[in-house]
């Protein structure tokens, strides 16, 4: 049986092609294969080309996210609360959109300022 991609009440904010990056000898380079990143309203999911899930990053794990330039490529840095930093190259100048979607995932849903009134019975 195939496990569904989304949990109940979860929906996609955006889908991107990314690759982990690392700094060595004065320049950025890609590490490993290109991955599909899906940002939902509840988590960041990373999949290999074969479709198997590689990483699942929950909002509680993320401290902050930035769009930045990694060498001559568009990229994103995700700072995790355990002190690690994930650097990702983003395909076709999508870093700003990916960072925006992750920030939207981190923002708690708005609650109404005025509570609805109950009808008297």
pLDDT 10s digits, 88-102: 999 878 999 999 999
pLDDT at residue 111 is higher than 80 = no
pLDDT band at 38 (very low <50, low <70, confident <90, very high): very high
CB 33 within 8 Å of CB 19: yes
Average pLDDT, the chain: 89
pLDDT tens across 61-77, in order?
Answer: 999 999 999 988 899 99
Candidates 3.40.50.2300, 3.40.47.10, 2.30.29.30, 1.10.3720.10; correct CATH number of 12-106? 2.30.29.30
Helix (H, G, I), strand (E, B) or coil at 102: helix
CB 66 within 8 Å of CB 47: no
Q: What is the number of other CB atoms lying within 10 angstroms of the CB of residue 17?
A: 15
């Amino acid at each position: 049986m195939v496990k569904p991609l989304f949990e109940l009440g979860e929906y996609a904010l955006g889908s991107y092609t990314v690759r982990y990056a690392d700094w060595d000898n004065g320049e950025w380079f890609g590490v490993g294969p290109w991955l599909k990143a899906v940002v939902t309203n509840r988590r960041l999911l990373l999949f290999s080309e074969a479709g198997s899930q590689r990483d699942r990053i929950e909002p509680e794990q993320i401290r902050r996210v930035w769009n930045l330039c990694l060498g001559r490529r568009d990229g994103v840095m995700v700072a995790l609360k355990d002190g690690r930093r994930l650097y990702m190259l983003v395909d076709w100048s999508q870093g700003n959109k990916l960072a925006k979607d992750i920030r939207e995932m981190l923002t708690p849903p708005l609650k109404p300022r005025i509570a609805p009134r109950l009808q008297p019975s």
